[in-house]
Structure 1
Amino acid sequence: MAKAYWIAHVTVTNPEVYAGYQAVAPAAFQQHGAKFLARGGEAETLEGESWQRHVVIEFDSLQQARDCYTSPEYKKARALRAGACEASITIVEGT
């Protein structure tokens, strides 16, 4: 079975509110076997929109990645970051 990945690009607009997301989201990722491959760190945008943060998260399957995103735990985390960031999140199946 192919792995799957969340690819997220985020620009935080309200760090104080975003901290609530950061406090709650790890529980959702842990429950769904997520493995962080990249989170924050130095990045260089070569084409397209520039984002503040880039995150790559590995899951064992596409379904597991979807289940994490739609889980009650992650829905709670997303609600806590509402209005605190601009984000683009894609789930992609690996090769």
Structure 2
Amino acid sequence: MAAYVIVEADIFDAAIYDEYKKLTPATVEAHGGKFVLRGNPVEVLEGEWSHDRLVMLEFPDKKSAKEWYYSKEYQEAKEIRSKGSKAKFILIEQ
């Protein structure tokens, strides 16, 4: 069953966040994942949105998504990300 990681990010240092964006794709692919969307700005049709960026990843299953998130390689990228942004990550199964 497919699983999705949805990320809301608030970026306070674009240069650092750009470094993070360069590191992340290889970590995602190594765990069978792919980017469904990586974007900003988000156009609000209803309600409120106050984040800089929205990202959605698709993995074959919840186990693969968690293995990616907790992998050594992603944790190294995450450490860089935390120096340039604040984010919320959620995991949802289809």
Q: TM-score, normalised by structure 1?
A: 0.88
Which 5+ residue runs of structure 2 have no aligned equivalent? none
Asked if the contact 1:27/1:73 (under 8 Å) is kept, the reply is no
Residue of structure 1 in register with 2:66 after alignment? 66
Matched, 1:32 2:31: yes
Q: TM-score, normalised by structure 2?
A: 0.89
- How far apart are residue 49 of structure 1 and its match? 4.4
Which 5+ residue runs of structure 1 have no aligned equivalent? none
Counting matched residue pairs gives: 93
- How far apart are residue 34 of structure 1 and its match? 1.0
The ranges of structure 1 where at least 4 consecutive aligned residues each deviate by more than 4 angstroms after the TM superposition are none
Q: Which moved more, 1:25-34 or 1:37-46?
A: 37-46
Taking every aligned residue pair, what percent have the same amino acid on both sides?
Answer: 30
